[in-house]
Structure 1
């Protein structure tokens, strides 16, 4: 499991170090505070243990800077500058921690000229199953996308191609264990069906027939994606899930189900990283989490122009909490408007 991530002059960050929970990590903050960049760096560091690609190449494909010039990932400033990100993980069977660091200068153009340091060889020897769920659904766009991505130079961050690869994995052989079956049943009730695929096309199958994903609401597609990742064994003990804004296009009513699933995955040993702008997401974790659950809230904010982080295990101690503050402001405005109308 990952223990911490550190940035120095990398993308939006001047200097930032974040301790990571082995359970669920929830990143909040105003737009432009680097939440998605954190998830992408985490995912790139994990995915290379499966693909055995260069971390520099994977990072370049995941972030996709203009012209694929890696130097553009260095925090913008005048002069010759270098930046890096560093990830530390704990190898349970060896009872030790490993750290890797990817360093680039603002003149770095090709991934081959970036610098990789730390215990990279040992890092690759211990595979981490990982998945990144982007904001935009890709299951409805799956037919033909993989071959197009592999054969043509199209401007898509590699997380989109990777998630399609994950959903096309075959289902695990043998009977489904009771905990996975429980999660699949919860999702099937919420979706009113289960997911099947035919010729690279996905369908929701229920008593009414088979409905193609292009005709499904995007919120239902997200539940379907979770169902597939659990069914095919991508999300098992020791795996990593990065999910960028799970609330996007999802009816708030369904967030209760999503949070229920995420908490149970954490109990099964999945390490989870989320970004959110949604009050309902935070409150569902606050209401549903048990004392034994490991949930860490990371609030990203700017101090004198630079991004800093405050981490806490308690929802009530999140500070600053831009989501809660905004929700409270809306309530205050509603009360003022209502009281003003009463006075007329």
Structure 2
């Protein structure tokens, strides 16, 4: 599964929009309310076409609340038709989901190309062939807090088969409770060997184990992979513990929101990929797994030092998966090396041809997010100083501004050094 282009009409705040995507990571940047999440939701609607002929409850329909509204004669009016069309070389045909706001119905007849592709994949689950199934998953900003209604035991059951890898894959559920129960059951089953299908559990859990270890070593460079362990502790109501170093282990729930958010995300992605393709090791998943994953606010609750590495670990674990990711973190943008960057502003999307990898955070704030890292009155004073040096270098106010700014930000500040150099240069020009 891959989406190469999407066309949106009257969906949320977007009147008409067409965006082409890359095969790897597509990163969307914008302020709150700019439409970042709306883009992901539109992509999810297109991905839902995969389930239009089988597992229809797993589709992502367009809701009446998502139809664009406009002012007509002073009254808010819902546009009669909303549509989302996707294009993919893998499917070789476009597919469209239409929504009629009057009947409040989704028209599914034009989704058939994606549904036929999905049916072919899903039918293969009942055969002995080892065709790789695409990974499809959505992670909303509620992924840490909003509990899924589906029981964790159903998700865990190895006899449920490969289809379980698509369980609630396009819902905005949290993954916390489900994952902890699955992880606890899997750890216990591996230790006791008492459940039918334990070989499958072993491989899936081994992939999760390795992915967690790889992630932690990637983020915390002083860790040693042989010291990282996941286990259950009977004395603590069988909580799942994560040991980072000898004699240092805590229940996963005890770690910070940002830490848990990252760990749960990695576990869920690797669990789904392993469940869909249960004969593949983590190394083989890295080589063969493809699909589409949407992640809203990847920087959620993370320390800036960790924000810098989040996309890198996903690319390292699953380099052939197409990721659609949103952020408003300048740290994420400044550390985004491989992929396509899109700026969302006023319901328009502009693909950036210039890379911001390695740029200063301040430059990203100004040029990408339209923000300024400085205290606003201080920045206004700097702007006034630079304008005076350029237009009226003999103005006595310049020295006053320099003295005031020296007290505020010091002489070693880059803008101060720039102002002093320009002022000195202007004296020689006279």
Same fold (TM over 0.5): yes
Q: Residue 204 of structure 1 is aligned with which of 214, 228, 242? A: 242
- Once the two structures are superposed, the pairs formed by residues 119-130 of structure 1 within 5 Å of their partners are 119-124=113-118, 125-126=120-121, 127-130=133-136
Shift of 1:218: 0.7
Q: Does the 8 Å CA contact 1:256/1:284 hold for their aligned counterparts?
A: yes
* Cα distance in 2 for residues equivalent to 1:145 and 1:281: 32
* Cα distance in 1 for residues equivalent to 2:212 and 2:171: 31
Shift of 1:233: 5.8
Give the equivalent residue in structure 1 for 2:172. 159
Deviations 1:250-279 (A, max 9, x none): 10011233232133246x212111101111
Shift of 1:23: 0.6
Q: 1:74 to 1:176 in 2, by over 3 A?
A: closer
Q: 1:203 to 1:42 in 2, by over 3 A?
A: farther
Q: Residue 301 of structure 2 is aligned with which of 249, 254, 259? A: 249
Shift of 1:14: 0.1
User: Relative to total residues, which structure has the larger strand share, 1 or 2?
Assistant: 1
Give the equivalent residue in structure 1 for 2:65. 72
> What secondary structure sits across from 1:247 in the alignment?
coil
Larger Cα Rg: Structure 1 or Structure 2? Answer: 2
* Cα distance in 2 for residues equivalent to 1:187 and 1:196: 21
Q: 1:80 to 1:173 in 2, by over 3 A?
A: closer
TM normalised by structure 1 equals 0.71
Q: Does the 8 Å CA contact 1:26/1:296 hold for their aligned counterparts?
A: yes
Shift of 1:202: 4.7
Shift of 1:332: 9.0
Matched, 1:296 2:337: no
Matched, 1:239 2:291: yes
Q: 1:2 to 1:141 in 2, by over 3 A?
A: closer
Shift of 1:328: 5.5
Matched, 1:38 2:39: yes
Q: Residue 100 of structure 2 is aligned with which of 105, 110, 116? A: 105
Shift of 1:173: 5.0
Any unmatched runs of 5+ in structure 2?
A: 71-76, 122-132, 155-169, 184-200, 274-284, 358-362, 383-400, 409-430
* Cα distance in 2 for residues equivalent to 1:39 and 1:49: 16
Q: Residue 355 of structure 2 is aligned with which of 315, 321, 341? A: 315
Give the equivalent residue in structure 2 for 1:154. none
Q: 1:196 to 1:240 in 2, by over 3 A?
A: farther
* Cα distance in 2 for residues equivalent to 1:108 and 1:276: 35
* Cα distance in 1 for residues equivalent to 2:5 and 2:315: 21
Q: 1:238 to 1:107 in 2, by over 3 A?
A: same
Any unmatched runs of 5+ in structure 1?
A: 64-69, 151-156
Greater mean alpha carbon deviation, residues 273-282 or residues 226-235: 226-235
Give the equivalent residue in structure 2 for 1:153. none
Higher relative contact order (CA 8 A, sep 6+): 1
Shift of 1:301: 1.6
Length, aligned pairs only = 307
Give the equivalent residue in structure 1 for 2:192. none
Shift of 1:298: 1.1
Matched, 1:274 2:325: yes
